[in-house]
Amino acid sequence: MTPSPLVVVPGRFSASASALRYRALVNASALLESVRAAGGEPLTVLPSAPGGVVDPDEVGRRLGFADAVLLPGGGDLSPQRYGAPAAHGEVYDVDDEQDAFDLAVASWALREGVPLLAVCRGLQVVNVASGGTLEQHMEVPHRHVRHSVVVAADSGLAATIGTAAEVSCYHHQRIDRLGAGLRTVASCADGGVEAVEAPGARGFFLGVQWHPEDTAAQDPAQASVFRALVDAAR
């Protein structure tokens, strides 16, 4: 039997978890289950960037076994990472070690052509790693929101989910200036960037601002987002 592709998912630091007593490393079970349902084997890895610094080459040595990478949602990136002078009062859960590791993972995967799916914060990480910026707090946050997105007909995303979809969102930040080499391939009614691709990338890349894992078990279109990653990993 052919082994399932290994999909690395950087873990998220949590202050505590039941029965573990102290600081924990977590990932959303729905996200991991969506990877597994798509035929991949999700593997949570420890973000390690002491002092908020890490070399993408070092990350590559650690993750060289990965068939694909999934950058998940989470807390906010430090505004310093994209040159903003100060943090908005709504910026939360900033962790320099998490930021440094995720940014290095994004840079390494894009450079080496490792299949990469970036979800919510993950999309924002890729944008910042590519020289883009973020809007620190939206006037009307998209928390616990389901809405429609329009997808560019000539995009890889359209071939995966079609030219329109209903998506589940939970975010209060979004892309401001798009990073180099990225292309907006989906947007919502308020003009926000909902998905990006990298036409010149060596390998598969898709970044979505929504959470496809929220509805993947019921919505074949959202499940297909994970299948596209796993298929690329094969």
| Residue 88: active-site member | no
- Main-chain phi, psi angles of 77, to 5 degrees: -70, 145
Q: Is 188 a catalytic residue?
A: no
The structural domains of the chain, with segments of one domain joined by +, span 6-233
Which pLDDT does position 218 carry in this prediction? 97
> Which is the catalytic residue, given 142, 171, 172, 211?
211
| Nearest to 62, CA basis, from 10, 126, 127, 1 | 10
Number of Cβ within a 10 Å radius of residue 230: 24
Distance CA(91)–CA(83), nearest Å, equals 15
Condensed to tens digits (0 to 9), the pLDDT of residues 16-39 reads 888 888 989 999 999 999 999 999
Q: Is 169 designated active site?
A: no
pLDDT tens, residue by residue, 137-152: 999 999 999 999 999 9
pLDDT in tens, 34-92: 999 999 999 999 999 999 999 888 999 999 999 999 999 999 999 999 999 888 999 99
Kindly provide the residue ranges of all beta strands, DSSP E only, lying in 82-204, ordered along the sequence: 116-119, 134-135, 142-151, 164-171, 174-175, 183-187, 193-197
CATH class of 6-233: alpha beta
Q: Kindly report, residue by residue over 172-230, the tens digit of the pLDDT.
A: 999 999 999 999 999 999 999 999 999 999 999 999 999 999 999 999 999 999 999 99
Q: Phi and psi for 200 in degrees, rounded to 5? A: -95, 5
Residue 15 has pLDDT above 90, yes or no: no
- Please report the pLDDT score of residue 95 as a whole number: 95
Catalytic residue among 88, 112, 120, 172: 120
